[in-house]
Amino acid sequence: MKRLVATLLALLSVCAAAAIPGAAAGGARPLTLNLVGTSEWSSAFLAETFSIQGSLTESAAAWGRGSYSGTLQAGPYAGPTFTCGPVCASVTGTIDFVTRAGTFSTDVLSGSTVAEEDTASHSEYDFTLALTITGGTGSYSQATGALSLQYASVRFQNQPECSICPIEDSGTLIGEITRGRPSS
């Protein structure tokens, strides 16, 4: 009976640690976070610098709410490719994420792109970013991981409520984070 109780307690503690990000070191944890925010563009046409910031929505209760901020650099712009268009550029930069379990910083990897589109009603930049974790605090102090961010930055214009409206951003961050063991 004692052995059964000890086994059940051990199993419950493992399950509880697995349910909370950052509760136990090691092991990849799937991540899906929705981003909602705004940005500043370096210019109205073919912007090269984007200062982004906003909130992480509670898309996964275990990750909770939080925030993000960063700077993306685009350029040079060129015509469409098989995977990007109508006007595209490569992207570099960094993005920092703050969650209830700590913070983690990411670098934008080579191969990341932005597609720019202008219409009568709006200007839009659609980012396809591959990110790698470069550092962190709290539960992410030893974290590693490969993440993917689909991110859109849109400015509507010629609308009844505003001739040049505020920039609205949104995105989805997915991937896996592996927390390393803290050093002794």
Going by C-beta distance under 8 Å and a sequence separation of 6 or more, which residues neighbour residue 152? 124, 125, 126, 127, 169, 170, 171
CA 86 to chain centre: 24
Is 72 domain-assigned?
A: yes
Assigned token pair, 14: 């493992």
- Whole-number pLDDT of residue 2: 37
101 inside domain: yes
Domain count of the fold of the chain: 1
- Is 1 within the bounds of a domain? no
Residue 161 inside a domain? The answer is yes
Q: Which residue matches tokens 């590693």?
A: 144
Which tens digit of pLDDT belongs to each residue from 145-167? 999 999 999 998 878 888 778 99
End-to-end CA distance of the chain, in Å? 36
Residue 20 lies in a domain: no
Give tens-digit pLDDT for 94-139.
999 998 889 999 999 999 999 999 888 899 999 999 999 999 999 8
Q: Is residue 82 situated within a structural domain? A: yes
Residue pLDDT, tens place only, 31-68 = 888 999 999 999 888 999 999 999 998 655 566 679 99
Give the structural domain span for 161.
26-178
Asked, for residue 14, whether it belongs to a domain, the answer is no
Q: Three-class SS of residue 137?
A: coil
